[in-house]
Amino acid sequence: MKKSISYRRIEGKHPVFIWALAVSTLLILVGLYAVYNMEHHGHVITGMTNQIVWGIPHVFAIFLIVAASGVLNVASISSVFRKSFYHPLARLSALLAITLLVGGLMVLVLDLGHPDRLVVAMTHYNFKSIFSWNIILYNGFIFLCVVYIWVMMERRMQGNKPTIGLFAFLWRLILTTGTGSIFGFLMAREAYDTAILPPLFIALSLVLGLAVFLLLLMFFSHALGERILQRPKTLLGVLIAAVFYFVLAYHLTHLYITGRHGVEYFILADSGIYTILFWGGYMFLGTILPLLLLYHERFSHSRVSIGTACFFSILGGFSLLYVIIIGGQAYPLDIFPGMEVTYSSFFDGASKHPYTPSGWEIMLGTAGISVSILLTLVAMKILPFLPANLTDRDIDPEMLD
């Protein structure tokens, strides 16, 4: 006999909830103060320059946007691929997709300068620009997720869940492809100009989304059954390996092309912080260590190990985005291929462009994460998103087969 799924709201008077709201609100206010200073004094107070025009706020923004796309995969597995095991988790998945995207868009809009001109960008579209496409994709994604949540919560609309889920799934793939294409279409930057970046971003979104989802689920659901964690844990390991495959293909392709040897040597061996983040942040902390924690018999059944693997997966994904976004700009433009260019005050012939994130930028990026946390907590307090029964005994045995 099939067991019914019940949901609950989080405890609004719990000290952890109150402290989380207070800290998130404080960090948002600090971020807005940073925005005010950057708008008042200009980007000269940041670490960004005419060469590094996308700084660490963009890394935070892309991280949140990509994670928002990937976290919806949990709901997609439930509705589109009809895996009943993920049915109790679908509501929370769609909620996180909205809140993470809103946090990322807040950072993106406030970092670009003149956020008051956003109305112009939303009413005058240049369809030759991938940025114009993304405005449509982001708004459409939020709308679909809202409808998706309504369909899942309204009993009379349950029959429409697979259809809405399929639309959201396809939209999510297009959205992440568009985000990856921002960099893949940039021919001027040797580190960007490649068609493999969109599928790499899709794979990375699945890792980041699932890792964020599992961390939140483990934090709020203390009575999680061991068998319940095993399936998404195994899926996370497979997705981490998939990201590694695309990263490997990306670098092997560049190494095969003679003209890309310079940028490859720069990223992999001679760029300082970018080389450290690639090998230490992404390869070791974000790939090798999580796979060890998820699959080694000594660690794989521990809830702490799974949570640690999720955390390091997120850290590794953030490091990879930092290397791709900022490291790709730090390598100088090859304006005159095959010619020797002398160094000048305009950075002609520079070996690399320096960048050090300022406190203002970090405050803004942290505020974006805080917005996502705040919206998630408030929504979970108002509406029942969290499954109430997630022990092995409470879940239908057929869902665990």
B/e letters for 69-86, b = 16+ CB within 10 Å, e = fewer, are: bbbbbbbbbbbbeeeebb
What's the domain range around 344? 188-217+228-352
Q: Are residues 179 and 271 in the same domain?
A: no
Q: What is the mean pLDDT of the chain?
A: 85
Q: Where are the alpha helices (DSSP H) in 302-358?
A: 303-322, 328-330
Asked if the structure places residue 394 within a domain, the reply is no
Confidence of residue 343 (pLDDT cuts 50, 70, 90): low
Confidence of residue 397 (pLDDT cuts 50, 70, 90): very low
C-beta separation of 141 from 172 below 8 A: yes
Q: Give how far Cα 344 sits from Cα of 20, 290, 349, 350, 396, Å.
A: 50, 45, 7, 8, 69
Mean pLDDT lowest for which of 104-118, 238-252, 289-303, 376-390? 104-118
Measured over the CA atoms of residue 103, residue 83, residue 397 and residue 306, the dihedral's sign is negative
Q: Does the pLDDT of residue 11 top 60, yes or no? A: yes
Mean pLDDT lowest for which of 94-103, 140-149, 310-319, 330-339? 330-339
Q: Are residues 250 and 148 in the same domain?
A: no
Asked if the structure places residue 180 within a domain, the reply is yes
Q: Are residues 74 and 146 in the same domain?
A: yes
Looking at residue 280, its pLDDT comes to 94
Q: Are residues 293 and 232 in the same domain?
A: yes
Looking at residue 344, its pLDDT comes to 57
In 3-state terms, what secondary structure has residue 8? strand
Asked if the structure places residue 17 within a domain, the reply is no
Confidence of residue 1 (pLDDT cuts 50, 70, 90): very low
pLDDT in tens, 63-80: 999 999 999 998 888 888
Q: Are residues 181 and 193 in the same domain?
A: no
Asked if the structure places residue 35 within a domain, the reply is no
- Tell me the whole-structure pTM to 2 decimals: 0.90
Q: Are residues 91 and 169 in the same domain?
A: yes
What is the percentage of the chain residues whose pLDDT exceeds 70? 89
**Burial class for 292, CB neighbours closer than 10 Å (0-12, 13-18, 19+):** middle
Asked if the structure places residue 359 within a domain, the reply is no
Confidence of residue 335 (pLDDT cuts 50, 70, 90): low
| Closest among 236, 209, 223 to 101, alpha carbons compared | 209
pLDDT in tens, 76-109: 888 888 777 778 888 899 999 999 999 999 998 8
Q: Are residues 281 and 162 in the same domain?
A: no
Q: Are residues 282 and 172 in the same domain?
A: no
Q: Are residues 331 and 200 in the same domain?
A: yes
